[in-house]
Each structure stands twice: as C-alpha cells, then as structure tokens.
C-alpha cells in the first residue's frame, strides 16, 4: 500500500490550482477576508457625499461596523461565484451584551459593491465610497489602521 503525506497532497493541489489560475479558496478552503476594497461603504441608494451614521459602515479585514455596532467575521466560506457565506459575531457598541452570532451571505459585484442577506431575513446593498467623497465628518477620520 502506498503511503501519502497529507501535507504533500495539499501543497500539490494548491500548486496545481495556481497553475490553472484557481485559488485554494475556490476549492472550498476558508477565505482569509472578503475580496472587497476596505474602507467606507454607503447604502446603494445614498450618494457618498450625503452619507450618514445610518447609511455608512466601515469594512475592515476582520469585520464591518457602523456607528453603533461591529460585526466580527469569524468564518468566510465561498458559496458560489462571487458569493461568500460569512459567520459573524455582532455586538452593539453601546452595551456589554454578548455578541449575536449569525450567518450572512455576501454577493459581490466586483470589489466595491455587495448585497448581504442574513439568515434572519434582512437584506442590505452598499457600495464603496472613497473617503475624499464622504461628508466632512468622515473625511477627517484617520482609518488607515482600521483598513489594513
């Protein structure tokens, strides 16, 4: 019987996929982050320069949040072309309650737009807005560390 080292098989699989222009994520591995540009996202029906606390979220590598809450991405899995199933833990920044864990499906349109649908029934569409195009109160924020 032939013995096969699982680590070697993994490396060969990744090398073969890279040669074919595919990533390990496409083969079912967990994605390290959503393939979206990090920074401000504003509800799709709101112009960037008219954004408010109610329509703006900051996408970071490890999660997304607004003025009152933050959702930490715990697990990101490809679920289809341009679609990711994200397990996230959300907490209200105003209290010390335990985070609420839920699953949200993100459907991406390029690297600057998404529609998210939760397993609880809500839907949200947003697009990236350059910080320079945001209202003055967002232009002055130093978000460099948050979006690295």
DSSP state of 44: T
Helices (runs of H) and strands (runs of E) counted in the chain: 2, 8
Closest to 64 in 3D by CA, of 88, 84, 45: 88
From CA 57, how far away is CA 96, in angstroms rounded?
Answer: 21
Please say if the pLDDT value at position 16 is more than 80. Answer: no
From CA 60, how far away is CA 39, in angstroms rounded?
Answer: 7
Element (H, E) at 89: strand 83-92
Element (H, E) at 126: strand 123-129
Burial profile 58-71: b = 16 or more Cβ within 10 angstroms, e = fewer: bbbeebbbeeeebb
Q: pLDDT at position 84, please?
A: 97
User: 135 and 50 in contact (C-beta within 8 Å)?
Assistant: yes
> How many percent of the chain have pLDDT more than 90?
62
Q: What six digits make up the tokens of 83?
A: 């679609």
Mean of the per-residue pLDDT values of the chain = 81
pLDDT tens digits along 61-113: 899 998 889 999 999 999 999 999 999 999 998 888 889 999 999 999 999 99
């Amino acid at each position: 019987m032939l013995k096969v080292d699982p680590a070697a098989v993994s490396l060969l699989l990744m090398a073969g996929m890279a040669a074919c222009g595919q990533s390990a994520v496409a083969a079912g591995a967990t994605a390290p982050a959503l393939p979206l540009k990090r920074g401000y996202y504003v509800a799709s029906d709101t112009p960037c320069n008219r954004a408010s606390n109610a329509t703006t979220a900051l996408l970071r590598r490890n999660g997304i949040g607004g003025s009152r809450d933050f959702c930490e991405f715990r697990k990101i899995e490809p679920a289809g072309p341009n679609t990711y199933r994200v397990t996230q833990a959300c907490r209200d920044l105003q209290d010390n309650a335990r985070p609420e864990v839920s699953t949200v499906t993100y459907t991406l349109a390029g690297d600057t737009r998404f529609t998210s649908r939760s397993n609880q029934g809500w839907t949200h569409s947003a697009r990236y807005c350059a910080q320079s195009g945001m209202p003055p109160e967002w232009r002055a924020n130093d978000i460099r560390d948050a979006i690295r």
